[in-house]
C-alpha cells in the first residue's frame, strides 16, 4: 500500500505550448484549432505534398540536442520546477522513457547528407538510438537508478508508465521520472502518408465521416513517487493498475473487434479491483482512423455494455503524438479528474456507439482509464485515481520464482561453444532463416524479425507443452531496432520520393516482438526495450516483473541486433577497444516462466537482476556486485563463471579489467556471438550445457549503465 505509485508533478510540451495546465485547457478547444501546415514549420522540405496539417510544438530551433529532447526538456523543466525529487536518493530514481522514433529527425538529415555524398561526421546518428531519450533525461537530472526506453510505436509512453509503476511497487525504485517524446519526422509523415492514414483536413475521432489522423509532437513528463516518500508533497493522482496486451493478429491493423484492447481494459480493471461502474472517464486513443476507432468502440461495448463511461479523444486537439500520446493522455486525464471537468471529443458529430462526450462534462468521479494502441497490435490501459484517493492496495511483487525452460539462438556462429571465426563481420543471410516456412508466410518479416522468430522457436522447442495465449508475454530487446528497414524506408523517401508502406510498418522497434507474439500466439504484455548494451537485461526485468506480479505466467524474452548501416555508423563514432569481437547479426531467446509453466523441467533459475548507473570507481562496482550476490544468499566464490557482453575502451574498459581480475576472469560473449548491443542476451545460453552451477553476468553499457544478472543452471 505504501509503495503505491503517486504522481507528484507533470510537465507537458505540445501544440498548445509548454504547460500541463495550458494543455488541459486547450483540450476544450475545437478540432484542429492548434494545427498548422507542416510546410510552414520549417522542419524538412515537402516535395509534392499538398496540405498536411499537424500539431507542431512551436519555438524550437536547431541545437546540439535533437528536437525530441528539446521538447522533452521543456516538459521536464516544468515537472521539476518545484523540486519534487528532493530528498530521494539518486540511485533510487529510475528513468523510464517511451518514444516511437526518438531523434530520427536529425538522423534523417544525416542520412540525406550521406546519400548526397558528403561525409557526415556530426554523430547525429546517435539520436537514432531511441535509448538516447531516457539517457539524456537521466544525465540532465542526475538519476542513477534504472534507465530504460520503451519503443512500442504509439503505446510507447504508456508502457514506460507501467514499467515505472511496477519498479516502484516492486521496490526497485523509490521515485521515477517517466517521459514520452516524439516529434514530426519524414519517417512518420511519409509513413502514415504511404498508408493513406493522414486526414485531408482536421481529424474527427469516432465520427462516421472520419478520414484519418493529424500527426502531432509532444514531450510529456510525470514524476512518480512511492507513497511512503510523499512527505509534504501534494499527490495529483495515483496509478491503480495497468493492463497491457497484444492482439497477435496483424503487424499494423488492430483486431477488428478490438479483442486485444478489450482484454487490456479488463485486465486493468481486474488487477486494480475496479468495478466498471467506478470508471468516470475513458481517455481514448481515438486516432481518427477507421480501423482504430471502430476497434476501440467495439472494446468499450464489450467491456462496459450499455454503461460505457464518458469518453473522448484528445487527438483532435493535439494531433497524434505517437509514442508521447500515452503520457499526454494520462496527464490530461489526471488534470480532468482534479479539475472535475472532462474534455470533449472535438470534431465528433455522429455515428459512434457509444457516443463520445461533445461538450465539457462535470464529474465528481475519482477513477479514469487512459488507453493506447500501437502498431503490432500493442494495447495498454492505465487506471488513474484522483489525488491520494486510491483505497485499494496494489498487487505488489510476489515471491514467484522465475525459471528458464528453453533457450534458442540465431547467430552466424554455428557452434556457440567455440569462438566465432569471422574477423570483422558475422552476418546472417535473411533468406536462409526459417527455411521451412513458405515464402508467402514469411515474406513480410525482415531479417531482424526472422532472427527473433528463429531464436524464439528454438527456445520453445525445448519447452514442451508451453502454455502461451493471454498469459504469455513477449519482451524483446534491441539496441538499434529495425535499422535496415528504417534505412530502406528513408531511402525510398529521400532518393525516390516514393515511400514504401511495408518498410514503414516494419520500421518500428516492436516489429520483432509483435511478430513473435503473432507466430506463437502470445497475447499478454508485449514490449520492446532499448538501453544500449543492457537492452536485454531491461527486457528480462519487464518479463520477470509481469510474471512475479501475476499478470502473466510465462513469456518469451529475447535480445537481438543486426550489424548493418546504423551499426557501422556506431562503430565509426566509438573506436573499438583492443580484442573487440566481430560485428554480428545475432539474437538469443528464452522461454521463461513461473514454476510449472511447461512440462519440461527448467534449465535454469534467475536468482538476481539489478540495473543501475555504474559508479566511476571500479571498487564500488565490485562492492555492489558482492552485495547483489549476498542478497541472493551467494558469495563470489559460488560463481562458476562470469560473463560480460563486450569489451569497452577508456575508463569503462579499465573497470571491466579490474572486475575481471577480481572475479577470476570474464568470458566475453562477443567472442562467441559477435559484437552488437544485444550480445548480453547470450550469457544464459552460453552457460547451459556446462553442468549445474551458479553463473553471473556483468554488463556495462557505453553510457555507464551496469546490469548484474545471476542465475543457477539446474
Partner 1 sequence: MDRDALVSDIKKKLVSALNLQGMPEDSIGSDTPLFGDGGLGLDSVDALELVVMVENEYGVSVGDKDAASAVFASVNALADYIIANRK
Q: Give the footprint of partner 1 on residues 138-197 (CB under 8 A).
A: 194-196
Helix, strand, coil shares, percent, the chain, to 5:
35, 25, 40
Instruction: Compare residues 440 and 578 and give the one whose CB is closer to partner 1.
Output: 440
Instruction: Compare residues 256 and 469 and give the one whose CB is closer to partner 1.
Output: 256
Give the distance from CA 51 to its chain's centroid: 32
Smallest distance from partner 1 to CB 443, Å: 4
Question: Do residues 200 and 51 make contact, with C-beta atoms less than 8 angstroms apart?
Answer: yes
Stretch 430-459: interaction string toward partner 1, x if CB under 8 A: -x-------xx--xx---------------
Instruction: Compare residues 500 and 528 and give the one whose CB is closer to partner 1.
Output: 500
Size of the site for partner 1 (CB under 8 A): 19
Smallest distance from partner 1 to CB 296, Å: 19
Instruction: Compare residues 22 and 437 and give the one whose CB is closer to partner 1.
Output: 437
For residue 701 the three cell numbers come to: 553499457
Q: Give the footprint of partner 1 on residues 82-111 (CB under 8 A).
A: none
Instruction: Compare residues 208 and 714 and give the one whose CB is closer to partner 1.
Output: 208
Q: Give the footprint of partner 1 on residues 187-206 (CB under 8 A).
A: 194-196
Smallest distance from partner 1 to CB 195, Å: 6
Q: Residue 330's closest CA among 280, 370, 360, 296? A: 370
Smallest distance from partner 1 to CB 327, Å: 28
Smallest distance from partner 1 to CB 116, Å: 21
Give the distance from CA 161 to its chain's centroid: 10
Q: Give the footprint of partner 1 on residues 221-280 (CB under 8 A).
A: 250-253
Smallest distance from partner 1 to CB 264, Å: 24
Collect all residues with Cβ–Cβ distance below 8 Å to 391 and sequence separation of at least 6: none
CA quadruple 634, 637, 641, 646: dihedral, nearest 10: 80
Count, in order, helices (H) and strands (E) of the chain: 21, 27
Peptide bond before residue 354 is cis, with ω within 30 degrees of 0: yes
Instruction: Compare residues 205 and 212 and give the one whose CB is closer to partner 1.
Output: 212
Q: Give the footprint of partner 1 on residues 493-512 (CB under 8 A).
A: 496, 498-502, 505
Rounded Cα gap, residues 105 and 96, in angstroms: 21
CA angle (252 as vertex; 345, 187 as ends), nearest 5:
85
For residue 71 the three cell numbers come to: 521538447
Q: Burial code of 426-465, b = ≥16 C-beta within 10 A, e = fewer?
A: bbbebeebbeebeeeebeebbbbbbbbbbbbbbbbebbee
Instruction: Compare residues 327 and 490 and give the one whose CB is closer to partner 1.
Output: 490
Smallest distance from partner 1 to CB 433, Å: 12
Stretch 379-418: interaction string toward partner 1, x if CB under 8 A: ----------------------------------------
Q: Kindly state the DSSP code that residue 54 receives in the 8-state scheme.
A: E
Smallest distance from partner 1 to CB 211, Å: 11
CA quadruple 688, 690, 692, 698: dihedral, nearest 10: -70
Instruction: Compare residues 431 and 620 and give the one whose CB is closer to partner 1.
Output: 431
In terms of DSSP bridges, do strands 554-561 and 604-613 run parallel, antiparallel, or are they unpaired? Answer: unpaired
Instruction: Compare residues 441 and 623 and give the one whose CB is closer to partner 1.
Output: 441
Smallest distance from partner 1 to CB 480, Å: 21
Q: Give the footprint of partner 1 on residues 504-563 (CB under 8 A).
A: 505
Q: Which residues bind partner 1 (CB under 8 A)?
A: 194-196, 250-253, 431, 439-440, 443-444, 496, 498-502, 505
Amino acid at each position: 500500500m505504501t509503495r503505491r505509485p503517486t504522481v507528484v508533478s507533470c510537465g507537458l510540451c505540445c501544440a498548445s505550448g509548454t504547460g500541463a495546465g495550458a494543455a488541459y485547457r486547450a483540450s476544450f478547444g475545437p478540432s484542429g484549432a492548434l494545427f498548422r501546415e507542416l510546410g510552414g514549420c520549417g522542419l524538412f522540405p515537402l516535395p509534392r505534398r499538398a496540405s498536411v496539417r499537424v500539431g507542431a510544438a512551436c519555438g524550437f530551433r536547431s541545437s546540439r540536442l535533437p528536437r525530441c529532447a528539446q521538447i522533452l526538456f521543456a516538459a521536464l523543466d516544468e515537472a521539476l520546477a518545484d523540486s519534487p525529487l528532493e530528498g530521494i536518493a539518486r540511485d533510487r530514481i529510475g528513468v523510464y522513457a517511451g518514444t516511437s522514433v526518438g531523434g530520427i529527425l536529425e538522423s534523417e538529415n544525416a542520412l540525406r547528407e550521406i546519400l548526397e555524398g558528403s561525409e557526415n561526421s556530426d554523430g547525429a546518428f546517435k539520436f537514432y538510438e531511441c535509448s538516447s531519450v531516457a539517457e539524456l533525461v537521466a544525465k540532465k537530472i542526475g538519476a542513477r537508478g534504472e534507465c530504460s526506453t520503451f519503443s512500442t510505436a504509439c503505446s510507447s509512453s504508456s508502457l514506460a508508465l507501467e514499467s515505472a509503476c511496477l519498479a516502484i511497487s516492486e521496490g526497485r525504485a523509490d521515485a521515477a521520472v517517466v517521459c514520452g517524446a516524439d516529434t514530426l519526422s519524414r519517417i512518420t509523415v511519409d509513413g502514415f502518408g504511404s498508408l493513406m492514414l493522414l486526414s485531408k483536413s482536421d481529424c474527427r475521432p469516432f465520427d462516421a465521416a472520419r478520414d484519418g489522423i493529424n500527426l502531432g509532437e509532444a514531450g510529456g513528463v510525470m514524476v512518480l513517487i512511492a507513497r511512503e516518500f510523499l512527505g509534504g508533497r501534494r499527490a495529483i493522482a495515483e496509478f491503480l493498475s495497468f493492463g497491457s496486451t497484444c492482439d497477435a493478429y496483424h503487424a499494423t491493423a488492430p483486431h477488428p473487434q478490438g479483442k486485444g484492447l478489450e482484454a487490456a481494459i479488463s485486465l486493468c480493471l481486474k488487477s486494480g479491483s475496479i468495478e466498471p461502474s467506478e470508471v468516470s472517464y475513458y481517455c481514448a486513443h481515438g486516432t481518427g482512423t477507421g480501423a482504430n476507432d471502430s476497434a476501440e468502440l467495439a472494446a468499450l461495448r464489450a467491456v462496459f455494455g450499455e454503461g460505457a463511461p464518458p469518453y473522448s479523444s484528445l487527438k483532435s486537439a493535439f494531433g497524434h503524438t505517437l509514442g508521447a500520446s500515452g503520457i499526454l493522455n494520462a496527464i490530461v486525464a489526471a488534470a480532468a479528474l482534479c479539475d472535475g471537468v472532462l474534455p470533449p471529443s472535438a470534431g465528433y458529430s455522429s455515428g459512434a456507439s457509444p457516443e463520445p462526450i461533445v461538450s465539457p462534462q462535470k464529474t465528481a468521479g475519482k477513477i479514469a482509464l487512459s488507453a493506447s494502441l500501437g502498431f503490432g497490435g500493442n494495447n495498454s490501459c492505465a487506471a488513474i485515481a484522483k489525488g491520494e484517493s486510491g483505497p485499494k492496495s496494489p498487487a505488489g511483487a510476489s515471491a514467484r520464482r522465475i525459471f528458464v525452460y528453453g533457450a534458442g539462438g540465431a547467430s552466424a556462429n554455428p557452434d556457440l561453444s567455440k569462438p566465432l571465426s569471422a574477423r570483422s563481420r558475422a552476418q546472417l543471410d535473411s533468406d536462409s532463416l526459417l527455411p521451412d516456412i513458405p515464402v508467402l508466410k514469411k515474406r513480410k518479416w525482415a531479417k531482424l524479425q526472422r532472427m527473433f522468430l528463429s531464436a524464439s522457436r528454438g527456445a520453445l522447442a525445448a519447452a514442451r507443452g508451453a502454455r502461451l495465449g493471454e498469459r504469455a508475454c513477449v519482451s524483446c530487446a534491441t539496441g538499434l531496432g529495425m535499422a535496415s528497414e528504417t534505412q530502406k524506408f528513408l531511402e525510398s523517401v529521400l532518393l525516390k520520393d516514393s515511400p514504401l508502406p511495408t518498410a514503414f510498418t516494419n520500421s518500428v522497434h516492436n516489429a520483432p516482438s509483435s511478430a513473435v507474439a503473432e507466430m506463437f500466439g502470445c497475447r499478454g504484455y508485449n514490449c520492446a526495450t532499448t538501453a544500449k548494451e543492457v537492452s536485454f537485461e531491461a527486457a528480462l526485468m519487464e518479463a520477470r516483473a509481469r510474471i512475479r506480479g501475476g499478470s502473466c505466467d510465462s513469456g518469451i524474452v529475447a535480445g537481438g541486433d543486426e550489424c548493418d548501416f546504423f551499426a557501422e555508423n556506431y562503430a565509426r563514432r566509438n573506436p573499438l577497444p583492443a580484442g573487440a569481437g566481430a560485428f554480428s547479426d545475432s539474437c538469443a531467446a528464452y522461454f521463461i516462466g513461473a514454476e510449472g509453466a511447461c512440462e519440461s523441467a527448467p534449465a535454469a533459475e534467475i536468482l538476481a537482476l539489478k540495473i543501475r548507473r555504474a559508479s566511476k570507481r571500479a571498487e564500488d562496482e565490485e562492492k555492489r556486485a558482492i552485495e547483489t550476490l549476498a542478497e541472493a544468499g551467494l558469495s563470489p566464490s559460488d560463481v562458476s563463471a562470469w560473463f560480460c557482453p563486450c569489451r569497452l575502451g577508456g575508463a569503462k574498459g579499465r573497470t571491466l579489467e579490474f572486475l575481471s581480475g577480481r572475479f577470476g576472469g570474464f568470458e566475453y560473449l562477443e567472442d562467441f556471438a559477435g559484437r552488437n548491443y544485444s550480445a548480453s542476451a547470450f550469457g544464459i545460453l552460453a552457460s547451459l550445457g556446462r553442468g549445474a552451477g551458479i553463473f553471473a553476468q556483468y554488463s556495462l553499457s557505453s553510457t555507464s549503465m551496469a546490469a548484474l544478472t545471476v542465475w543457477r543452471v539446474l
